[in-house]
C-alpha cells in the first residue's frame, strides 16, 4: 500500500509540474491559456503541499484531483480569485527579452499612410468573447493599470 501511495504522490507532482511548464510555454509563445485549468492546477498543487506537510495519506489526492477543478472554477467566480490568478500569470510569465517584446512605434509607423480608422469598441470596455485569450502581454496590460506598475 505504501508503494501505491508514493506512486500517487509522484504522479500528482509530475502532472502538476507538467501543467505549470506547459502554461509558462503558452504564455511565452502567445498561445491561449485556459484560466480554469490554471486555477485547478494551483488548487491541486496546494493539495499536494498540504498532503506533504501534514503527513496524511497521498491517496487523498485521488478525490482531491476532481475536487480541485470544481474549487478552481469557484475561485474564478469571485473578483479577488480572478485578480490573484492574473497576478500569478504575470509573475509566472516572467520578464521577456527586449527582442521578444512588440514594438508599438513600428506598428504605428505602418498605419500612418492608411488614414484613421474608428475603433468599434471603447478602449476601457472589455469585449465579451466565448474564449478568454490570455497571453503575457495581455495579462500585463490588464493588471498593470490597476496597480500603477510598468
Q: What is the pLDDT of residue 130?
A: 41
What would the 3-class secondary structure string for the chain be?
A: CHHHHHHHHHHHHHHHHHHHHHHHHHHHHCCCCCHHHHHHHHHHHHHHHHHHHHCCCCCHHHHHHHHHHHHHHHHHHCHHHHHHHHHHHHHHHCCCCCCCCCCHHHHHHHHHHHCCCCCCCCCCCCCCCCCCCCCHHHHHHHHHHHHCCC
Average pLDDT across the chain, whole number? 77
d(C-alpha 56, C-alpha 90), whole Å: 33
- Could you read off the pLDDT of 68-117 as tens digits, one per residue? 999 999 999 999 999 999 898 888 887 655 445 544 444 445 555 555 55
What cell does 109 get? 509607423
Average pLDDT over residues 30-42: 90
- 127: confidence class by pLDDT, cuts 50, 70, 90: low
Average pLDDT over residues 26-49: 91
Distance from the Cα of residue 105 to its chain's centroid: 28
The CA-based diameter of the chain, rounded to the nearest angstrom, is 72
- Could you read off the pLDDT of 47-60 as tens digits, one per residue? 999 999 999 999 99
Q: In degrees rounded to 5, what are phi and psi of residue 114?
A: -95, -5
Q: What is the pLDDT of residue 20?
A: 93
Amino acid at each position: 500500500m505504501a508503494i501505491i501511495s508514493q506512486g500517487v504522490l509522484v504522479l500528482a507532482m509530475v502532472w502538476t509540474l507538467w501543467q505549470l511548464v506547459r502554461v509558462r510555454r503558452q504564455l511565452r509563445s502567445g498561445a491561449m491559456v485556459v484560466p480554469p485549468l490554471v486555477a485547478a492546477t494551483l488548487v491541486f498543487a496546494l493539495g499536494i503541499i498540504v498532503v506533504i506537510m501534514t503527513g496524511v495519506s497521498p491517496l487523498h489526492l485521488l478525490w482531491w484531483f476532481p475536487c480541485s477543478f470544481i474549487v478552481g472554477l469557484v475561485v474564478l467566480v469571485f473578483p479577488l480569485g480572478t485578480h490573484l490568478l492574473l497576478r500569478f500569470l504575470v509573475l509566472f510569465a516572467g520578464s521577456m527579452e527586449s527582442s521578444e517584446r512588440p514594438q508599438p512605434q513600428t506598428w504605428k509607423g505602418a498605419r500612418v499612410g492608411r488614414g484613421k480608422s474608428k475603433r468599434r469598441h471603447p478602449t476601457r470596455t472589455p469585449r465579451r468573447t466565448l474564449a478568454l485569450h490570455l497571453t503575457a502581454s495581455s495579462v500585463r496590460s490588464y493588471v498593470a493599470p490597476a496597480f500603477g506598475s510598468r
